[in-house]
């Protein structure tokens, strides 16, 4: 009677081992975010996704910039006049404040001696012409957007600075597939356990249990991973349709991916920061400098010869340069005023969702496959190792055998 319970426990043990092995493998794909151990990369472990972040992020970024988003199309949706309307209150105050501050610092006597009427006229011209100037500057930026905004660099930087973001992306878009891998270990493990039980009934060689353990641990992982991505195109077999689990969820994944990327990475705040502080910010500085200097000359108007004569051409140029620097310094705090409008206008979430549904199965597979591909053998090998020790434990502890 005791032997019957030992035999019946074998499928349950294999199912438990299969589930636990797959659970461990899934966790090891994503965690720990940072290397834990003695010496990288061998004496310790770092999650597959964070460890291979540059490669995986590169694939995601290439897919995004090649098939999902064109920067020109996104920024063409922004209306410069609406941006002007949103920024006008703060821009007017900023221009007047900067003008007073710089002229007081660089030419205090000249600026103090300047009649109030002339100052008021300068401020009034600024107020009257600012909307047109800001709109012209926005159009200038739009026409040169690929020069001042590097989408690829921005997304890569976001993923590499915070590798947990990349892990979050994979966990969210692949949540159902990861759950399937875990649960498949339970069911495949139970089936292999039944085979193990039958074999052990009729053929009790010491190597049987460890061998079955290796098969359970490795095969469950291999089967589960392949069922996620294969077949890429649906195959009809009688009343059944076989289709890769992840591939057939393309429309559903598109919703999750679009929402996550739009909220966490391609949001207005990050885009503005990337434009103002990114690798192409020097080109933006040149654009703003050109517009601000031209504007200052226009605002000074007929007083320019008097001012340049009094303070010198060199100092006047310094004032304009400092004005540009001041505007660049204060611009980020002002840009929050346009976040709501730009988010609505660009509508990146809808764009991503729509474009993702148009990807081919091969292109769509690249969303998740990189988390598995190069290190898939490690996950299978880990399952084999764990399965071997469990099989050996069954042999020794349950049946009193030895290898």
Instruction: Give Cα 70 to chain centroid, integer Å.
Output: 16
Whether the CB-CB separation of 169 and 70 falls below 8 Å is answered with no
Whether the CB-CB separation of 100 and 123 falls below 8 Å is answered with no
CA distance 173 to 192: 30
In-domain check, residue 361 = yes
Q: Quick one: pLDDT band at residue 371, thresholds 50, 70, 90?
A: low
Instruction: Say if residue 80 is in the same domain as residue 16.
Output: no
pLDDT (0 to 100) of residue 308: 56
Instruction: Say if residue 231 is in the same domain as residue 308.
Output: no
Q: Any idea what the Cα angle at residue 66 is, between residues 370 and 280, rounded to 5°?
A: 105
Q: Is 48 exposed, middle or buried (0-12, 13-18, 19+ CB in 10 A)?
A: buried
pLDDT in tens, 16-44: 877 887 788 788 878 888 888 887 767 88
CA distance 309 to 294: 19
pLDDT (0 to 100) of residue 136: 74
pLDDT in tens, 221-254: 787 778 888 888 888 887 878 888 888 888 888 8
Whether the CB-CB separation of 337 and 85 falls below 8 Å is answered with no
Query: Which structure tokens are listed for 225?
Result: 């991973």
Instruction: Say if residue 338 is in the same domain as residue 360.
Output: yes
Q: Percent of the chain scored above 70 by pLDDT? A: 78
In-domain check, residue 122 = yes
Query: Which structure tokens are listed for 312?
Result: 């010198």
Instruction: Say if residue 331 is in the same domain as residue 296.
Output: yes
Query: Which structure tokens are listed for 21?
Result: 């092995």
Q: Over 80: is that where the pLDDT of 276 sits?
A: no
Q: Over 60: is that where the pLDDT of 311 sits?
A: no
pLDDT (0 to 100) of residue 1: 45
CA distance 388 to 381: 11
pLDDT (0 to 100) of residue 391: 78
Looking at the structure of the chain, the number of domains it has is 2
In-domain check, residue 257 = no
pLDDT (0 to 100) of residue 64: 84
Instruction: Say if residue 211 is in the same domain as residue 224.
Output: yes
Instruction: Say if residue 315 is in the same domain as residue 344.
Output: yes
Q: What's the alpha-carbon Rg for the chain, to the nearest Å? A: 32
pLDDT (0 to 100) of residue 263: 87
Mean pLDDT within 113-129? 72
Instruction: Say if residue 287 is in the same domain as residue 184.
Output: no
In-domain check, residue 252 = no
Neighbours of 67 (CB within 10 A): 16
Would you state the torsion angle of the CA atoms of residues 127, 128, 129, 135, taken in this order, to the nearest 10 degrees?
80
pLDDT (0 to 100) of residue 317: 66
Neighbours of 109 (CB within 10 A): 10
pLDDT in tens, 185-212: 788 788 878 887 888 788 777 788 888 7
Instruction: Say if residue 7 is in the same domain as residue 135.
Output: no
In-domain check, residue 118 = yes
Residue with tokens 């300068």: 122
Query: Which structure tokens are listed for 301?
Result: 């108007």
Instruction: Say if residue 132 is in the same domain as residue 155.
Output: yes
Instruction: Say if residue 156 is in the same domain as residue 281.
Output: yes
Give the domain range for residue 231: 1-30+175-245+374-403
In-domain check, residue 43 = no
CB environment 310-347: b (16+ within 10 A), e (fewer): bbeeeebeebbeebbbbbbebbeebbeebeebbbebbe
In-domain check, residue 262 = no
Instruction: Say if residue 86 is in the same domain as residue 183.
Output: no
In-domain check, residue 261 = no
Q: Over 60: is that where the pLDDT of 215 sits?
A: yes
Instruction: Say if residue 395 is in the same domain as residue 348.
Output: no
CA distance 106 to 238: 85
Whether the CB-CB separation of 16 and 387 falls below 8 Å is answered with no
Give the contacts of 198 (CB within 8 A, at least 6 positions apart). none
């Amino acid at each position: 009677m005791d032997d019957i319970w030992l035999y019946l426990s074998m499928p349950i043990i294999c199912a438990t081992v299969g589930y636990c092995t797959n659970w461990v493998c899934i966790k090891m794909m994503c965690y720990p975010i940072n290397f834990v151990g003695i010496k990288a990369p061998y004496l310790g472990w770092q999650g597959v996704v964070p460890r291979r972040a540059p490669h995986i992020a590169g694939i995601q970024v290439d897919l995004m910039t090649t098939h999902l988003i064109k920067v020109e199309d996104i920024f063409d949706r922004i209306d410069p006049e609406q941006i002007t309307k949103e920024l006008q209150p703060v821009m007017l105050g900023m221009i007047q404040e900067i003008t007073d501050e710089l002229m007081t610092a660089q030419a205090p006597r000249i600026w103090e001696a300047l009649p109030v009427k002339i100052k008021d006229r300068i401020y009034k011209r600024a107020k009257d012409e600012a909307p047109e100037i800001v709109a012209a500057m926005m159009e200038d930026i739009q026409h040169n957007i690929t020069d001042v905004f590097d989408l690829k660099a921005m997304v890569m930087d976001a993923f590499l600075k915070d590798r947990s973001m990349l892990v979050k992306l994979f966990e969210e878009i692949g949540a159902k597939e990861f759950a399937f891998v875990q649960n498949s270990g339970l069911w495949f493990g139970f089936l292999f356990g039944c085979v193990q039980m039958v074999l052990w009934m009729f053929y009790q060689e010491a190597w049987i249990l460890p061998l079955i353990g290796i098969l359970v641990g490795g095969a469950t992982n291999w089967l589960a991973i392949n069922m996620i991505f294969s077949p890429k195109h649906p195959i009809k077999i009688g009343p059944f349709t076989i289709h890769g689990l992840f591939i057939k969820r393309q429309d559903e994944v598109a919703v999750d991916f679009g929402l996550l990327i739009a909220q966490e990475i391609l949001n207005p705040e990050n885009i503005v920061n990337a434009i103002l502080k990114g690798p192409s910010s020097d080109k933006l500085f040149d654009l703003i400098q050109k517009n601000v200097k031209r504007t200052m000359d226009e605002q000074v108007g007929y007083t320019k010869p008097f001012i340049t004569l009094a303070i010198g051409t060199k100092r006047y140029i310094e004032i304009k340069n400092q004005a540009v620097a001041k505007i660049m310094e204060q611009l980020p705090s002002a840009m929050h005023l346009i976040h709501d409008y730009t988010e609505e206008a660009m509508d990146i979430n809808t764009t991503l969702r729509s474009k993702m549904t148009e990807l081919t199965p091969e292109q769509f597979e690249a969303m998740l496959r990189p988390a598995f591909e190069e290190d898939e053998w490690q996950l299978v090998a880990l399952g084999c190792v764990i399965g071997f020790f469990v099989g050996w434990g069954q042999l020794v502890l349950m049946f009193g055998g030895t290898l």
